[in-house]
Structure 1
Amino acid sequence: MREAVRLRRILILVAAVLAIAASVALLVRTPSSEPAAPVVLAAASLQESLEAAADAWTAKGHRRPVLSFAATSALARQVEAGAPADVFISADEEWMDTLSAKGLIRSGSRATLAGNSLVLIAPVSSKTDLKIAPGMPLARALGSGRLALADPSGVPAGRYARQALERLGVWDQVSARVAAGDNVRAALSLVARGEAPLGVVYATDAKAEPKVRVIGTFPPASHTPITYPIALLQTARAPEAEPLRRFLLSPQAQAVFRRYGFTPAAR
């Protein structure tokens, strides 16, 4: 059974990578008399905020960037496969480190875009009340249901969630009851639809979904700091790629990210 689930996840990841490659290649290589718009590969949890930041960029007279959202792990593998993209925004430092070690990140372009926090959520109609603390009765709170997480084997949100649950001493009681999503938005959707009674997602995801409520926030010390590094890729060719990167780090764009619940990251 586990092998079948593992195979299914691998097939889904391969399909996602191929879909990203096809869409990015089509958008980048469409003939035009204008310079190519920057192509941005970004973690799924940035979707609403980055779309809004792109609106602000476009309002300044620039071409709208091409935005592609997916799990950081899927995007990083696409970069490794040579995706014709310009900017990469990861949901953790580890995947950016991996690409940097392989020489796929442009030297001197890496910076921290924003930060986030981790929360326990339930469907908005749920009466579950649980204090996040060491040894909390998480398994009992799940009842006969499952805990929705992004896949902890590779997706940053899932790895942060596992870290937090391990440090609180409750991972062993729920690890066999995890409903793993391909990205954090998939985990969020499981809870929003009532298919999972509880889930662990980023605070910004919970804020974007009216069908869930936050039960509590995990202590920052329970997991690695959640940061979103941004960098130019070695494949960057769009003339406005670097200006866009600088804009996303500017006070104007940072105000947009704060509006969506992200925290300013120390630089």
Structure 2
Amino acid sequence: MKKIIAFAAAAMLLAGCGASGAEEEKTLRISAAASLMDAIGELEPVFRESHPDTELVINYGSSTKLRAQIEQGAPFDLFLSASSTDMEKAADAGYIDAETVIPFAENRLVLVSAGTMDSNVEDVLRNPGGSIAVGQPDSVPLGIYTKESLDTAGLWDDLDGRLVYGKDARQVLTYVESGNTDLGIIYRSDAAISDKVEVVGELPPGDTPIVYPAGIAEQAENTAAAEAFLELLTGDNGRQVIVDYGFAQPEDGK
């Protein structure tokens, strides 16, 4: 009798493990740059409708922070980065299948304020008054792009003492929207979705194009779903959403 009970318990345990594995396969985990939050949010219901049995879990943050989480073992199936450098590092370290990496969007930097300004970008930045929100220049793609752009224009050193640093693109936008800073340097896509900031003008481009690449995990638990979401993102529907939310298509060269 004890042998029968023991066998039954073992069978139930194995069945439970099988069910757990099946549930894991039904989950699609995406690590996505914070600046993509609204665009991806627009595509979520489209994906859920075509994949009703797949649970979609999205982790937003700075691309550099997301890469660090991936390197520390955080589970993910698809990485949507605002930084080609972070994608390359993740692929070189074996976390991303390099053959799946594809650019799906580009962005630009703009200077924004909480009110209308008639001056151009350079005049506003050279004016000694007013605080400016920017991304962390040593760890956040937005901040790295910002410093590169302002260095190229010979403006970075002049801003010493005026800068307020944000942990990601959305925090920088929030600083300006809330009035915590007078100005902010953000992505054009973030300015496009905010009704609380005015664009003063576009910053000059730095040496590094702001390209958003996508890549599937080398050890993805749900490769099929990751491929399906990537197909949605790079298809006609996804391309239109990308443009609607202020991004540019990589081939536009704008």
- Give the gaps of 5 or more residues in structure 1: 1-29
**Which of these residues, 212, 215, 220, is aligned with residue 231 of structure 1?**
215
Mean alpha-carbon deviation: is it higher for 100-109 or for 87-96? 100-109
Distance in 2, Cα, partners of 1:83 & 1:137: 42
Distance in 2, Cα, partners of 1:191 & 1:218: 17
Correspondence 1:243 to 2:228 = yes
Distance in 2, Cα, partners of 1:193 & 1:223: 31
Closer, same or farther in 2 for the Cα pair 1:203/1:115, shift >3 Å? Answer: same
**Which of these residues, 135, 139, 142, is aligned with residue 157 of structure 1?**
142
Contact 1:147–1:178 (CA<8 Å) still a contact in 2? yes
Structure 1 match to 2:5: none
Closer, same or farther in 2 for the Cα pair 1:194/1:47, shift >3 Å? Answer: same
Mean alpha-carbon deviation: is it higher for 73-82 or for 50-59? 50-59
Distance in 2, Cα, partners of 1:173 & 1:199: 15
Distance in 1, Cα, partners of 2:124 & 2:231: 45
Structure 2 letter corresponding to 1:161: T
- Give the gaps of 5 or more residues in structure 2: 1-18
Distance in 1, Cα, partners of 2:141 & 2:51: 34
Structure 1 match to 2:98: 107
Residues 193-246 of structure 1 show CA distances to partners (whole Å, capped at 9, x for unaligned) of: 1111111000111111111110001233x3521110000012311141222222
Structure 1 match to 2:42: 52
Count of matched residue pairs: 231
Residues 83-129 of structure 1 show CA distances to partners (whole Å, capped at 9, x for unaligned) of: 11100011011111111111111131000011111100000xx2433
Q: CA deviation at 1:266?
A: 2.4
Distance in 1, Cα, partners of 2:207 & 2:174: 23
**Which of these residues, 33, 36, 43, is aligned with residue 26 of structure 2?**
36
Structure 1 match to 2:109: 118
Contact 1:56–1:253 (CA<8 Å) still a contact in 2? no
Q: CA deviation at 1:130?
A: 2.6
Structure 2 letter corresponding to 1:47: M
What SS does the aligned partner of 1:240 have? helix
Structure 1 letter corresponding to 2:101: R
Structure 2 letter corresponding to 1:228: Y
Structure 1 match to 2:67: 76
CA-based RMSD: 2.0
Contact 2:76–2:217 (CA<8 Å) still a contact in 1? yes
Contact 2:82–2:212 (CA<8 Å) still a contact in 1? yes
TM-score normalised according to structure 1 size: 0.81
Identity of aligned residues (%): 30
1:1-267 map, 5 Å? 31=20, 34=23, 35-62=25-52, 63-123=54-114, 126-133=115-122, 136-140=123-127, 143=129, 145-220=130-205, 222-238=206-222, 239-266=224-251
